[in-house]
Each structure stands twice: as structure tokens, then as C-alpha cells.
Structure 1
Amino acid sequence: MDDLPSEQTSLLSAHPKSRTRRTPLPWGQLFILFWIQLAEPLTSMVIYPFINKMVSDLPITGGDEAKMGYYAGLIESLFSVAQAMTVLYWSRLSDRIGRKPVILIGLLGLTLSMGLFGVSTTFNRCLSGALNGNTGVIKSMMGEITDDTNVAQAMALMPVVWNTGATVGPVIGGWLSNPHEQFPGIFPGEFWASYPYALPCFVVAIYCAGTLIITIFYLEEVSSLKLHNPANGALESGTTDPHAQLTLYQVLTPYVRIAVINYTILAFLDIALRALQPLFLTASPSAGGLGFSVPAVGTCLAAFFVASGVYQAVAFAPMWEWLGSKKIYVISMGMFVPIFALFPMMRASIGEGSALNAITWVELALQIILYVIMDMGFSSALIYIRASSPNARSLGATNGLAQTAVAIARAIGPVFSTSLFALSMEYNILGGGFVYVVFIAVSVGAVMSAKRMPERPRNDDSE
């Protein structure tokens, strides 16, 4: 892959190890961007502990627990379906009018949609995705305010922020649902009884509203003059027009394509795992799960993301300097195979009964450890996406294309994994383990695709 043709100037102009002096990170602006980024995992993950119970409480399943996976996956996917249809537009728009206005629109959309989702189940989940193009725009700003000496340090923190939201979100969703029953003295009245999942949604909506206010006053727009000045090291000399906004066809260089494809595969497997995990934990042993309560599911998911967040913050940057992006990415993708294999192993360890034993808990802990290692792949993928952009003016479009593909994968992943789980159990395919066999096979293919990534995350052949 190193001999792929170069079409424009890459945002990474040299191998990171050739730099001896690391540029200080702009921590003030990074903190605000991370604060904004936190809104998305909160809004997407807060529903996971209670979505299966919400679906089972509705008349659409007819009391059939096996059908719960179909409808839960559909609702989980609505955010990504809508986002896939609009994220490229928002990213391209941010290349023209600036990043900050688009981010403000996205935060407003998240605030409104989360508030409404507490009293609804479908349309407002779509609204949340359609009005939110912040993920691609934030990554564009991250690429603009970093260079090849500090990009690993900055990108390593993005999964930490995501994992923080993915940790807090399930805790909020698990512990604040059904407040009328859990805290009757604080939340009396018919409203909380009729809408048992409104409180966690309202809490997240308040966070988004507060972030919107902070962004209005404190987020600074990236200076185009500073960004496009070759003296700052963001661009090499030799590009014909570093200020030109390229067409989508011009943006889709071989490096962009291979980076986007692998990022999409990673996102698909990750979101499928995130949707399958709470379903597996919530489902009764007779339905192929472990029979956890909603608060227990929230706590278990939190353990996944706390461990991963701490490890990313501490270990990714030095490991990136030691192993490089490709080796980290291939290792990360390889972790999916044992992660999915542990699901049927956990189910088999409890036998015909329903009580968890020491072996089950050890297997669950091992799955968490493997998940932590796997999660490093996102930081590597983000570095590849940033570096593959043909020029600085096309960074928004590059991230928009990546996020569009990822949003499609994240729309398909939950429906595919939860429906396959329900199908496997309903028809007893391979004793209910067919879903895991499928994902193990997909994971093997993902490793093979990861090995096709270029050795260095760059788009030039100057070395």
C-alpha cells in the first residue's frame, strides 16, 4: 500500500518518529471539543440498558421475548440511519461556513431530540441523528489544531471521551429509569409512571443544552490563514492549490478508500457488539442470555468503558510510537474473534441452571480485557483518516465520507446483530450460537482487511 499514488498534499508531511520536538497541544480548545464529543455517546448509549425492557413493555412484541431483539435493534439503529443521510452534508457545509455553526446546530438537535425521546420511541431518535453532524466536524477540527508530532496524543483521548460517555450513559439509563418506582418520594405523579424512561433522557438533554452554551461563548473557529499557511507545517510545499475544495471524486483517493473501508468494518463490529452485549446480559437464560437486571447491565457496560478509557489515556500514545498505527490496528481487529467466542462460552458455563458461577465471571472479565485492547483500533483508524485527506480544505469532506460510511455500518450493526440473536434463538440454530459463528467469521475477514492498510498513515511517497 505504500506505493499508492498521491494526488494532493497530505495533512501528515513526515513520519512521526522523524520529529524530535512535540508541538504542545491546545488544551483549552481540545477540552471544549471533548466536552462536545461527549454528547454523542451519552445520547446514543443512554438507551441501551432500558431499550429491551422498553420494547418488551410495548404491545408490539405480543409478549414474545424472542422478538425483543428485532425491535430493540431497529430503534437503536434509527440514530445512525438518519445520521448517514445527513453527516456528509454537515461536514461539507463546515468546510464552507466554518466548524462552529455546524457544531451549534448539532448540539441544538441533540438537546431537542433527547428531550422528546423520553416521551416517544421512534421519530425523535431519527431527529437526533439527522440534526447531528458533530462527529465528523469535531474530528476535522482535531485534525486542524494538531500536527504529526502530537496527533497520536490527541487522537488517543477521543476514544477516552467516547468511553466516558459510553460509561456514564448506561449508568444514567440504568439507574434513573423508572424513577416513579425507585424514588417515589422524589418523583410522584402520573407523568413519571407513564414515561418511566423520561428522566435519563432529560438529564442527557440538559447536558447537551449546557454544552451548547459553553460552545457559543468559548469555542474558537479555526483560522483559515493559520491552517493553510505552509509555514506552520500543516501542508508541504508543492501542492497546486491547497485552498481548493475538491470534488468528492477527487477526495476519494486510494488512501482515503482503504482508510474508510477499514474504519467502517471496525465501527460495524463494534456497534454490533455494543448492541449484542446488553441483549445477551438482559435475556433470560432460557432465551440465551445471563438474566441480568437493568441496573446490573448498566454497571457491567460501565466496567467495559472505564477500563478502556483509562488504558487509552495512558498507553496508546507510547504504544503508537513503539508499534505504529498498522500493527496496533491489526492487533485490535484480531481481538473481535475471542470477544465473540466468549458469548457462547459464558452461556455454556452456567449450564441448565440460571445462577452465575466463578467461571462465568472470569470469562466476562476476560471479555472486558480483550475489549480494552480492541478499542485501541479507533485511535489508529482516526489517525489514518486524518492523514489520508488530500489537502487541508478537504478534511471536512474526508471525515464526512468516513462518518457517512460509519453511520451506515452503525445503522446496520444493531439490527443485524440483535435480529440474528433473535433468529438463532427462535429457530435454535446451532443451539442458539449461530449469531456468534457469523460474527467470528466476519472478524476473521476484518483482520485480513486490516493487513491491507498502509504501513504508515500518510498520503505521500516522499520517503
Structure 2
Amino acid sequence: MIAYQDDEETPLLRQPEQSIAKTPLPWNQFWIILVLQFSNFLVFQTLAPFTPELIRDIGVTGGDESQVGYYAGILHSSYYVAQTLTVLYWSQLSDHVGRKPLILVALFAIATTMLSFGLSRTFLGLLASRLICGAFNGENGVVKNLLLDITDATNLPKAYGYMPISWMSASIIGPLAGGSLSRPADRFPEIFGRSELLKTYPYLLSCAVPAVCASIAWLVTYFCLKETVSTRAPLWELIKEWLLRRQSAKPSTSSSHAQTSSGKPNAEEAPKPLPLRAVLTPKVLTVVASNGTLSLFDIAVTTILPVFYATPIELGGLSLDPPRIGAIFATSAFVGGTFQIFFYARIHDRFGSYAILMAGLASGIPSVILLPVINALARAHGMGRAVWLAIAIQRVLLAIFGTCFACMAMFIRAAAPNRASIGATNGLVQFVSEGARMVGPACGAAVFSYSMQEGRDVWLAYYFILSLGFLAIGTSVFLPRDPRLWEEEGK
């Protein structure tokens, strides 16, 4: 009887604990993150419209139109290759020297390499610009570290609800600037017709747009951004300490500073960044595997969709032209971004990170199954209302799938061994994610093209992508139902 009374009263006793006070979002610093993300996204959105034309102009293809996509793919992948090889080191270094110095370096790299890209007249020059930009641009990973620094578990979902503002704005401004400002002497002869510089370098003005935006972001960061790493040290001291550790196995001086004058450890001493090996905990490895498979599934779907839309109906696609394909992506991006801005935080408060993550991954499965269904409808009825309704349903499912990465940020934060090692933790996650984004496009596009060949199974590509989706679901099952469970265990 007593046990029954205790169970009856338990919900009443725990009710005050469930109503956790939410920390207000620090807008005085968060708006800077939105500016930084906009600057980063703008680069890719600006280059996309004129890159094929630029490759034709420099003559690297020798007039072979079929080679344009090949060289454009090399330029696109080169950035991610360089970033993948350096993102872990940038993120880990930011735990020691601070976020702000590395962000300033990244913005300088964006501004400089974008101008050099516009001034390049050889493919080797274009490739070098993208490689250098990717190698020095640790901004994407470090900015995510910064976001985790200024937020906590109560306001991080709200912060991610506003993140689409950056890429939505870049998706609108970037293509307009890249397309309309390329070859300005030909498009606007009354304004730029006398400029020999723009005649010689017809894509410089387009490249100057993200370069100027990166310069403005550099000034904003320098004067307005507050450093969030309390354990930062000058770079030369880190090098000196590393050399001393190589020469002697004695405890480093940093351990002596962790004691007070009485010789006892200071309980209030700020946590120190852990070495990379100490960061490789089971929690971190679980998040790395989950985010890596999620990224692989996401990039495979993202790569195949435009190819599917453009492929002739008789070969398994929809035979859509570029304007209609662009309209589909632009509309879905606007709708998905608007949904996340206004509703993601509320839905997260109601259901939590794990439930939204699993729902997002589950929505990715039918979005892939709809691909052959849409083609079958197009074969039977042409591009009628049924096909467009199926496309609309697919885009809604993909918008739900897009919330997965916002949920993953909660698990990254909870998995970090301590607050001072958030950068290293996020760096590991980003390293595997960028590696997946290198492999995914090539694998997805290759399998899709192979399955379209005569005598092949048209479902082969869909089997492949579905297997990636189920793999992502399988790795995410090992995440906790609530990220706070990891934090309560004591990191």
C-alpha cells in the first residue's frame, strides 16, 4: 500500500523538475553567427551559376562539352577535400587559441581566394584558389563550436530554428549576384563597357560580392565578437609546450597551475582541452557514426535528385529543364526554411531531439521510394497534377528530413567530455561528415548512371540509397532518448 502511494505521488513530486527555465538566446552574439554563416554559404551559391561558363572560356575542355561537368566537379570537390583534411585540426586548435582568431583567418582566406578565383585564367589557378580556401577555411566547424559555446541545452534548439535565415538569404542573393554580374561588360555595356579589367576578367565582379561580404564579416568579427574560450593561449606557447613534452616526460606546467597556493586542486579551475585520444569516448564515437551516416545519406539523396529531375522520362527521370528544376529547389528551400524558423523550436520542446531525429530519418525512406513512383506516374499520365502532387509530398518529406542536423547538434554538445573540448568533439564529427560528403556524390551519381544503362536494374540506385538510409537509422538507435542523460552522467 505504501509503495502504491509513493508511485501515485511521484509525478507530482517531479513536476517542478520538468519545467526547466529556458535561457534567453544571446542575440548580441548570435546575430554575428548568422552573418558568418551567410558569408560562408554565399561563396558556393555565387560560384554555381557561372562555373560551367568559366570552364568553357578558359579552354581546358578543348571544346568538348561533355568534359565541362567533369572539371566543374573537380573544382567543387577540391574545396571539400582540403576542408576535410584540415577541419579537425582547426576545430581542435580553436579549443586552445580561441574561436575568434581562427574565424578571422577563415574570413581572410575567403576574401583573398575569391578574388584570386575571379582573376584566374587557367584551370590550375582556379583549382589552387579552391584548395587554399578549403584548407584555411575552418570557419564552418569553428562557428559551430562558437554556437555551442554561447548556448545551452535550453536555447540551442531555438538557435537552430533561426539558422535557415543565413542559407535562405545566401540562396537568393548568391545566384542573382553570380549570374547577373558575370560578364558585366557584355551585359551592362553602358556601365562597365569601358572597363578593361572586367573585359579581361569577366567573372571578377561576381567573385567580388562574396569577397566584400567576407571582408565586412571580418570587421564585424574583429570589433563585435567576444571570445568564448577561457583557456586560450598564444600559439607560440602551445608550440613551446609541445616541444617540451617531446623532450621530457615530466608533468607540464599547466598541471601545476591547477592547484591553489595551498597545494590543493582548485575546484573552480576552468576545464582544460583534452588531447584528441581522450576525446574518443564511446559517446563521441556514437555521435560521429550517427552524423557520418546521416551525412552520407543526405548527400546521396541531394546528388541524385537534380539528376533524376533532368533525366529523360523513358530512362527513369522526369525530363525537366533547368528553370523548373531551380524553381523546385528554390520553393522547397523557402518553405523548409520558413517551417524551421517558426516551428522547429516548438516541436523540439514538445517531442525532443531523439524523436525528431528518428522521424526525420524515417521520412527520408519514403522520399527515396517516391522517385520510381513519380517516374511511373510520368510515364502513365505525363507531367500532370499527380506527378506534381507527388513531387510536393516528396519535398515535404525532405523538409522534415532536413531537421535531423539541427537535432544532431544537441547530441554533439552532450557527448563532449568537457566544455573545453567541444571544438575537438565537433571537429571529429565534421571530419567524418566532410569525408562522407566527398564520397557520397560520386557513389550516388555513379550508381544512378549505372542503373540507367540498358539491361541494368533501374531499382539498383534506389536500393543503394535506401541501404544508406537504414544504415543511418541503425547507427542513430544507439543515441540516448534525451541528450541530457549524457550530461547528467557527468562528463
Q: 2:394 corresponds to which letter in structure 1? A: Q
Structure 1 residue 274 corresponds to structure 2 residue 280: no
| Shift in Å, 1:223 | 5.8
Distance 2:51 2:455 in 1: 24
Q: State the one-letter code of the partner of 1:208.
A: A
- Aligned counterpart in structure 1 of residue 215 of structure 2, from 176, 189, 209: 209
Post-superposition Cα deviations, 1:182-225, rounded to whole Å, max 9, x if no partner, equal 65655658977887765543322222222122212211212628
CA distances 1:216-268 after superposition (whole Å, capped 9, x unpaired): 22112126289xxxxxxxxxxx9897522211121111111111211122222
| 1:124-273 matched pairs, under 5 angstroms | 124-166=129-171, 168-170=173-175, 172-173=177-178, 188=193, 199-222=205-228, 224=230, 243-273=271-301
Q: Over residues 307-335 of structure 1, what are the superposed CA-to-partner deviations in whole Å (9 max), with x where a residue is unaligned?
A: 12111111111111111111110111112
C-alpha separation between the residues in 2 aligned to 1:74 and 1:420?
Answer: 19
Query: Which stretch shows the higher mean deviation, 433-442 or 377-386?
Result: 433-442
Q: Distance in 2 between matches of 1:338 and 1:129?
A: 34
My pick for the range that moved more, 144-153 or 358-367, is 358-367
Q: Given the alignment of the two structures, is residue 364 of structure 1 paired with residue 391 of structure 2, yes or no?
A: yes
Q: In structure 1, what residue type is equivalent to 2:355?
A: K
**Contact 1:282–1:292 (8 Å) recurs in 2:** yes
Identity, % of aligned positions: 33
The answer on whether the counterparts of 1:161 and 1:309 sit within 8 Å (CA) in structure 2 is no
Higher relative contact order (CA 8 A, sep 6+): 1
RMSD: 3.6
- Is residue 73–residue 419 contact of structure 1 (8 Å, CA) maintained in 2? no
Partner Cα distance (2:295, 2:465) in 1: 13
Q: Who is 1:233 aligned against?
A: none
Residues 128-174 of structure 1, C-alpha deviations (whole Å, 9 max, x = no match): 21111112211211111112221221233234434443454445445
1:377 alignment partner, one of 404, 423, 428: 404
Contact 2:164-2:337 at 8 Å conserved across structures:
yes
- Alpha carbons of 1:35 and 1:262: their partners in 2 closer, same or farther (altered >3 Å)? same
Give the match for residue 449 of structure 1.
Answer: 475
Contact between 1:48 and 1:278, CA under 8 Å: does it hold in 2? Answer: no
Cα 1:241–1:218 change in 2 (3 A) is closer
SS in 1 for 2:288: helix
1:389 paired residue among 416, 419, 424:
416
Q: Which runs of 5+ in 2 are unaligned?
A: 1-14, 233-265
| 8 Å contact kept, 2:301–2:465 | no
Asked if the contact 1:95/1:394 (under 8 Å) is kept, the reply is: yes
Change (3 A) 1:413 1:114: farther
Q: Is the 8 A contact 2:296 2:468 kept in 1?
A: no
Deviation string 1:249-305 (CA, Å, 9 cap, x unpaired) is: 211111111112111222222233333333444556577654555454443322222
Give the length in aligned residue pairs: 436
Deviates more, 1:355-364 or 1:279-288: 279-288
Distance 1:203 1:54 in 2: 17
Select 1:415's aligned residue among 442, 445, 448.
442
* Distance in 2 of aligned mates of 1:366 and 1:193: 46
Instruction: Report how far residue 397 of structure 1 moved.
Output: 0.7
Structure 1 pair 266–201 and aligned structure 2 pair: CA distance change class (3 A): farther
Q: How does 1:279-358 map to 2 (within 5 A)?
A: 279-282=307-310, 289-351=317-379, 356-358=383-385
For residue 358 of structure 1, report the CA deviation from its aligned partner: 2.7
Change (3 A) 1:52 1:239: farther
Amino acid at match of 2:366: P
Task: Assess if the C-alpha contact under 8 Å between 2:414 and 2:487 holds in 1.
Answer: no
Please give the secondary structure, in 2, of the residue aligned with 1:149: coil
Instruction: Please show how residues 55-66 of structure 1 align to structure 2 within 5 Å.
Output: 60=61, 63=64, 65=66
Instruction: Report the TM-score when normalising by structure 2.
Output: 0.77
* Structure 2 residue 20 is matched with structure 1 residue 20: yes
Partner of 2:235: none
What amino acid does structure 1 have at the position aligned with 2:363?
A: M
CA 1:388–1:293: 2 relative to 1, 3 Å: same
Does the 8 A contact of 1:19 with 1:149 survive in 2? no
TM-score normalized with structure 1 length: 0.81
**Separation in 1 of the partners of 2:304 and 2:295?**
14
Aligned to 2:451: 424
Give the Å deviation of 1:434: 3.0
Distance 1:245 1:223 in 2: 10
Q: CA deviation at 1:85?
A: 0.6
In the alignment, the residues of structure 2 paired with residue 405 and residue 280 of structure 1 have an alpha-carbon distance, to the nearest angstrom, of 27
| Cα 1:224–1:292 shift into 2, 3 Å | same
| Separation in 1, partners of 2:107, 2:16 | 34
For 2:432 and 2:161, the matched residues in 1 are separated by 22
Q: Based on CA coordinates, which of the two structures has the bigger radius of gyration? A: 2
